[in-house]
Amino acid sequence: MLFQLKSYINFLLKSQNEHGLHSPFVYDLVTRCFYDTSEHSEYKLIKEYRNDLLRNKEIIEVKDFGAGSRVFSSNQRPVHAIAKNAGITLFRAKLLSRIVNYLKIENALELGTSLGIASAAIAANKSTKLTTIEGCRETAKIARQQFEKFDLKNVDLRIDKIENVLFDLTAEHRTTKIGQKTSEKFDLIYFDGNHQKQATLEYFQKLLSLAHNDSVFIFDDIRWSAEMQQAWKEIIEHPQVRVSIDTFQWGLIFFRREQVKEHFTIRV
């Protein structure tokens, strides 16, 4: 907790709003997307999806594959408590939905479905195809029920360890000299499956081959721990990353080769 407090104070000292942003791309993203206060049609689905989970009193046994939980001491957890304490907030879900719409995301990948609140935020735009991965079968069962209940037919839920699915996805993409067919690349990849440095860096490296010039990677909980913050620092220093944005909880990176390398710390 002390680490997060110190980190937040440091963030506030460095952060800015739209004023002084010299990158037209980032300025437009911040003013027209991050700070957009208008009501979007997708918000209704997102709020209803989340509220439905908050009313769910079912208790499930959760299997953690990542850094574990700071909230729960037991793997026996009520669905409503997971949605309230571990799921993406409504504020962040709305922001994620706006990013999907603003960047016109057609093909997205999510690492760590959980109950599917972030999934719903991405897939609320029905023209977006989402592949989402969840290792815990009990959690995935609830998410699948929610996807069916809210008619999110554009979601492909893969129940397996993230490493296994990423191996399959990247294997599909690798080509041979005789012209093996390649898989589709992703416009957006949302990283929320394992808040550990080594796993985060490994996922990032593996998924670089499935990104294109206009792709965005969003990393959740970049200040979960000192090692996660270090992972974020290593990611933004990667030579293929040209634009990086720190919003305290999220880190966003872009690969826009036409831009000079630049980092931004933005309050949202």
| Confidence band of 176 (pLDDT split at 50, 70, 90) | very low
Instruction: Tell me the average pLDDT of the chain.
Output: 92
* pLDDT at 63 (0 to 100): 84
Q: Which residues contact 96 (CB under 8 A, 6 or more apart)?
A: 88, 118, 121, 122, 190, 218
The stretch 206-219 carries a mean pLDDT of 97
Q: Is 176 helix (H, G, I), strand (E, B) or coil?
A: coil
Q: Is the pLDDT of residue 68 over 80?
A: no
Tokens of 4: 């997060």
Burial class (CB in 10 A: 0-12, 13-18, 19+), 193: buried
CA angle 18, 3, 254 (to 5 degrees): 40
Closest Cα to residue 242, out of 226, 263, 224, 222? 263
Predicted model pTM = 0.92
Domain assignments of the chain as residue spans, ordered by start: 2-174+182-265
**Tens of pLDDT, residues 222-252:** 999 999 999 999 999 999 999 999 999 999 9
**String of b and e for 29-55 (b: at least 16 CB within 10 Å)?**
bbeebbeeeeeeebbebbeebbebbee
CATH topology classification for 2-174+182-265 = Rossmann fold (3.40.50)
Q: Which residues contact 41 (CB under 8 A, 6 or more apart)?
A: none
Q: Which residues contact 70 (CB under 8 A, 6 or more apart)?
A: none
